[in-house]
Structure 1
Amino acid sequence: MAARAGAGPAVIPPYFGQWESADCIADIITGTLKAEEDPLWAASGARDAAEYAEWADHLCGVACLRMALGARGIAPPRAFDLARELTGRGGYVVRPDGSIRGLIYAPAATWLREAHGIAAEVRVDVPAEDIPSLLADRGMFIASVHPAVRRPETEPPARGGHLVLVFGTAEEKLRFHNPSGHDAASQTDARLAVDAFARFYAGRGIWLPG
C-alpha cells in the first residue's frame, strides 16, 4: 500500500499521558515515585489515589483516544470517566483475580463512532511500511508497540503491549505521541524511521481515517 500524496500537514494532537503529571512519568516508571503520589492524580477522575495507581498503568489506550479527540477539536473526557465508559462497553475487563485486560480495540472503535461520529476501524496485519498511507488526509493510527519504544536505541523483548498515537510523517519518519514517554522528547512528537518503529510494532491498532 503506497502512501497517498497531498495528505496535508499533520495536526499535532494535544498530549495526554497515562499518568496525569507528564513530568513525573519517568519517576513512576522507575519506581522512584509511587503512582498514588502523583500530585495531579485527582484530575484523572479516579475515586481515590489507590484506584488511580491500580488503573493508570493500563490507560495508554485511554490517553490515545483522548489525544485523538483533541486533534479533532473535541474536548476529551477525564481519563477515568472514559475508562469507566469503555469498561461498560467491554473495552476493559476486570478479571476475577482483579487484573485488568484492555484496551480492547473493537469496543473502543465502536465508542468513537457512536459517541462522536468519528470513523474508526480495527486493523490487523498492517505492516509498518503501510502506516504512512493510513495517515493520509490527517488520518491517525493508534498503534500497538512495545513500551520500550520510548528508548528506540534498545532492542525490545517482544512487540506490542502498549499503545501510541501516530499522527503524521516527516522526513520519512513516523510522528507519534507516547503516553508513557519518560521525557519530553519521547512523549510529544516523537519521531522514528519506519524500520525502527517496526522493531516495536505488533502490526495492529485502531485506524481513524482523515
Structure 2
Amino acid sequence: MSPVKFFKKISDRIANLKYYFNRLPGSAALNAPYISQFMSANLVEKYINDKPSLATDPRWEESGAKTIEEYQMWTWSDCGITCFKMILSAIDHKHDKLTLVEIAKGAKKFGAFEDDPKMPSGLHYQEFCNYVTSKFDLSARPEPNLSLQQIKHEVSLGNFVIVSVNPNIRYPESPTPVTRGGHLILVVGYNDAKGGIYIHNPSGYQSNKSQNRALVTYTQFKKFFAGRGVIIEKP
C-alpha cells in the first residue's frame, strides 16, 4: 500500500469515529421491495449449488437480455445493479420498467464494469456513483472505509447502503470466510433489540429465508463484511 493510500485509510477511519458518538434510534427500516438478480427467485439455490445452465430459467427474458447468453453473462455480475433497482423502486416507480440488463449496460457506459465480452468485472464504485448521479439525479458516493455504525447512521436517515460482503452471508452461521467481499447486498434496516441488521440479498435462498429482509446479527455480519460500499441518499 502506498503512503498516500495508507494515510487516506487512517484518515477515513478517524473520520468514522464520529459515528460511534451519535445517538441513534434503536431501530430503523427502509421500505424497499426485494428483487432477485436471478429472474426466478425460487431457483437461485439450484443455480448456485448445482450450476445448471441459466437457459432453464423460464423467466430469463424479464431481465431485458436479448439472448440467453447475455442473460447468463450479466446475471452473475448483477448483484450491485439489482440492489440499485431495489432502491429505484423504493424511491418512486417511474423507473420500474427499466430492466436489470438495461441498467447494467447504462452503468457500463460510465465505466462501472470493465469491457469483457465473456463476463463483466465486479462493480467499480466511483464509476457506478457517477452513473447514478448523472442519469438519475441521486446523490451517490463510494465509501472505501465503511463501518457498521455508519451503516446504521445512514439507514436511520433514510439513506440506502449497498455493502460488500462474502457471498456466504446467505449462511450467516457459517464459519468466518478466508476473504471478505465479492458480493453486494442492500441494507434495509436494523434493530438493536434483536441485535442485527436486515438485508435484501439479491442471491439469497428461499429455503433458509436469506433473500428478503433477512435478519443477520451484528456479530454474523462483521464476519462477512468487507468494510466498503456505496451510499445513495434519499432524494
Which residue matches 1:131?
151
Distance 1:126 1:100, change over 3 A: same
Give the structure-1-normalised TM-score: 0.92
1:70-100 deviation line (CA, Å, top 9, x unaligned): 111143410111111111111111337x342
Give distance in 1, aligned partners of 2:51 and 2:123: 26
- Which of residues 58, 61, 78 is equivalent to 1:39? 58
Matched-pair contact (CA < 8 Å) for 1:139–1:167:
no
Q: Which amino acid aligns with 1:190?
A: A
Name the structure 1 match of 2:134. 114
The aligned amino acid for 1:51 is E
Mind listing any 5+ residue stretches in structure 1 that lack a counterpart? none
Matches within 5 A, 1:20-169: 20-31=39-50, 33-74=52-93, 75-76=95-96, 77-95=98-116, 98-155=118-175, 156-169=177-190
Q: Larger radius of gyration, structure 1 or 2?
A: 2
1:189 matched to 2:209? The reply is no
Which amino acid is 1:164 matched to? I
Q: Does 1:180 align with 2:180?
A: no
Give the letter for the 1:177 counterpart. H
Contact kept, 8 Å, 1:146 with 1:162, in 2: the verdict is: yes
TM-score by structure 2 length? 0.82
Rate the CA distance shift 1:54–1:99 in 2: closer, same or farther, 3 A: closer
RMSD: 1.9
Q: Deviations over 1:79-126 (max 9, x none)?
A: 111111111111111337x34212111122122222222211100111
Q: Which amino acid aligns with 1:187?
A: Q
Runs of 4 or more above 6 Å deviation: none
Counterparts in 2 of 1:194 and 1:129: CA distance versus 1, 3 Å: farther
Aligned to 1:203: 227
Corresponding letter in the other structure for 1:193: T
Tell me what 2:32 maps to: 13
Identity %: 29
